[in-house]
Chains A and B, each alone.
Chain A
C-alpha cells in the first residue's frame, strides 16, 4: 500500500465532501477557462480584423505620414525599398497600399468614404477577405471595377454593375475624379468600415489620386507575426532617409489599451474566483485534518513521521484538485471548441456598444491548449498555497492532545 493508493482511498472516506470540493474547483476552473477563452478570442478577433485584414503587423510610410495622413507624405514604391524590407529575414510579404478619402456618389446620394488601393492578388486572396464577398467577384476589379462594402451600397442604393463616382483630392492638391463600376460587394465585420469603405486596384487608385508610382504605405506581414516588434525595431534602426515604420500597436494604441484595460478587469474577476477556490480548498483541508486528528496522532504514535502524514494529506488534496481540473477540462474543451466555431453574437444594446467602438458584435472563443494548461496550473498552485497552513498544523501536531480527542 503506497501513499498514492492510501491517499486515493482516503479521499473517498467522505464522498460528499470530496465531490463538493472537486465540483467547486470544476465550476471555478470552467468559468476561468470560459472567461479567458472568450477574452483571448475577442482580442485575437479584434487584432485579426484591424491588423491582419487591414493595417498589417507593421507599415512603412513616407516620413511624416503617421502625423499627417495626406498624400503629400506618400512614398516612392520602387525596388530599392522592396529589397531593403526583404533584407529582414522575418518579413514575409509586402503589400503596397494607398489609403485616402473621397466623396462617393451614386444617383441622389453621396457619402465620404475611405478609399483603399490594393494589389488585388494579395488583398483579395486573403481567406478572411475572400469569405466576406457577398456579391460579384474580385477578378473584375482589374478592369476599372470597384469593391464596395455592403452598408455603403445599401446607403447609396447602388447595386452590382452600377457606376460609383469618386471625387476627392489627389497628390499635391490636384483634383481626383473617377467613375467606377461596382464589381463586388463585401461585408466587413467592423461596422464602421462596413458602412464606408471601397477598394480599388492599386493602379486605378494611383491614377485617381495622381500618385504615379507612389503609395501611402507598405503593409508588412511576418513569417513569425509574434515577433512584429523586434522586426519593426530592426527595420527602423537602418531605415533609409524619408521613410518611417510603425508596428500596429504604435499606430493603433487604442486597441492595445482596450485589450490591456479589459484584461485588467478580467484579472480582477479571476483573482476573486481564485480566492473563492482557495478558501474552498483551505476549508476542506482544515476539515479533513480536524476530523482525522486522532488518526494522525495514532500514526505518529506507531512510528510514522509527521512529514509523511503531511505528504499523504497533500497528495489527497492534489487528488481532489485534479479531479476538479480533469472534469473541468473534459467539459470545457468541447464547449470552448463549440464557441470557437460558433461565436456568441450580440444583439440589441450590447451589439450597439460593440458597434460604437467599431467592433463586430461577436465574441469568439480562442481555442488554445495554453490557457487550459495555464488555468489548471494556477489552480494547482492555489491548492498548494491553500494547504500550507493546514499542513503546517500537522507538522505541529501534539500527539498526546490528538490521542485524547
Chain B
C-alpha cells in the first residue's frame, strides 16, 4: 500500500539570473516499510526532492500526497503540524538541542505533541534503549560521540511514531563503525516495526543496505531499482 504518492513534481529556483530546475518532473510512490536510498551526484536534486517530500519546501508544480493528504496545499502552520505527527527527520549534522540531555532531546518532539510526561519518559527510554543508548540517557550531546548523537537523532525521529523517516546524509559525518552500527539499528527498526526509511545519501554502505535504490540526476529519476 502506498503511503506516499508523488505526482509530476517540479521545483524551479528563480532567484538566480537563469532559472534552475532542481526537480524536473518526478513521479514516485513509496510503500509502508520501505528502506530506500536516494542517490545521485551533488546538485542532482535529491535534497530538494527530500525537502519537498518532508513539506519543508513547496513544489513549483506537482503534488506530494501522504496518506491521501496533499501536503503541498497545506498552510505553513498546518504543514509544520503535519510534520510533527507524521514525519521523522534525521539530519547529517545530528542537530540535537545542545542544552538537553539525550532523553530530553527524544522527549522534546513528544512534548510538542502534548503527550503526558509519563508517556514521554517511557517512550524516550524505550527508543534510546532501541538505539543502544540506555546507559547514556542523561548525557548532553557534547558528552556523546558523533555516532551516539546520530543514534539519539534516530531515537528522536522515531519517538513521535511517524509514518516515515526522512534521513538526509545521516552517515556523512560518521566513521565506519558508527555507520555500520547506525545502519544495523535502522534496519532492525525497519524490519521489526515496519517503519519506512527514505535516505538521501552518497554513502555506498547505506546504498548496500537499501532494498530500493532511486537514482536522481538533473532533477529526474534516472533509475528506480528494487533489490
A residues apposed to B, CB below 8 Å: 1, 6, 9-10, 12-13, 294-295, 298-306, 308, 399-400, 403
Also in contact, A300 and B80, with CB within 8 A (given A295-B95, A400-B51): yes
Most buried by A among B77, B95, B113: B95
Q: On chain B, which size bracket covers the interface?
A: 20 to 34
Given contacts A295-B95, A302-B84, 19 further A-B contacts (CB under 8 A): A1-B100, A1-B111, A9-B99, A13-B99, A298-B95, A301-B56, A301-B89, A301-B91, A302-B112, A302-B157, A303-B81, A303-B83, A303-B113, A303-B160, A304-B80, A304-B112, A305-B80, A306-B80, A399-B56
| Chain B positions within 8 Å of A13 at CB level | 98-99
B residues apposed to A, CB below 8 Å: 51, 54, 56-57, 77, 80-81, 83-85, 87, 89, 91, 95, 97-100, 104, 107-109, 111-113, 156-157, 160
Q: Are A303 and B80 in contact (CB under 8 A)?
A: yes
The 27 listed contacts between A and B (C-beta, < 8 Å) are A1-B107, A6-B97, A6-B100, A9-B99, A13-B99, A295-B95, A298-B89, A298-B91, A300-B80, A301-B89, A302-B83, A302-B84, A302-B89, A302-B108, A302-B109, A302-B156, A302-B157, A303-B84, A303-B109, A303-B113, A304-B80, A304-B84, A305-B77, A308-B112, A400-B56, A400-B57, A403-B56
Q: Are B95 and A303 in contact (CB under 8 A)?
A: no
Q: In the complex the two chains form, what is the Cα distance from A294 to B96 in whole Å?
A: 11
- Tell me what chain A mostly uses at the interface: helix, strand, loop, or mixed: helix
Chain A minimum-CB-distance residue to B109:
A302
| Chain A positions within 8 Å of B84 at CB level | 302-304
Task: Give the Cβ gap from A237 to chain B, nearest Cβ, in Å.
Answer: 62
Task: Give the Cβ gap from B45 to chain A, nearest Cβ, in Å.
Answer: 14
Q: Are B111 and A303 in contact (CB under 8 A)?
A: no
Tally A-B pairs: CB < 8 A. Answer: 60
Q: In the complex the two chains form, what is the Cα distance from A399 to B95 in whole Å?
A: 14
Q: Are B80 and A10 in contact (CB under 8 A)?
A: no
| Chain B positions within 8 Å of A6 at CB level | 97, 99-100
| Chain A positions within 8 Å of B97 at CB level | 6, 295, 299
Q: In the complex the two chains form, what is the Cα distance from A403 to B157 in whole Å?
A: 17
| Chain A positions within 8 Å of B109 at CB level | 302-303
Q: Are A294 and B51 in contact (CB under 8 A)?
A: no
| Chain A positions within 8 Å of B91 at CB level | 298, 301, 403
Chain B minimum-CB-distance residue to A8:
B99
Q: In the complex the two chains form, what is the Cα distance from A303 to B54 in whole Å?
A: 11
| Chain A positions within 8 Å of B51 at CB level | 400
Q: Are B85 and A303 in contact (CB under 8 A)?
A: yes
Q: Are A303 and B112 in contact (CB under 8 A)?
A: yes
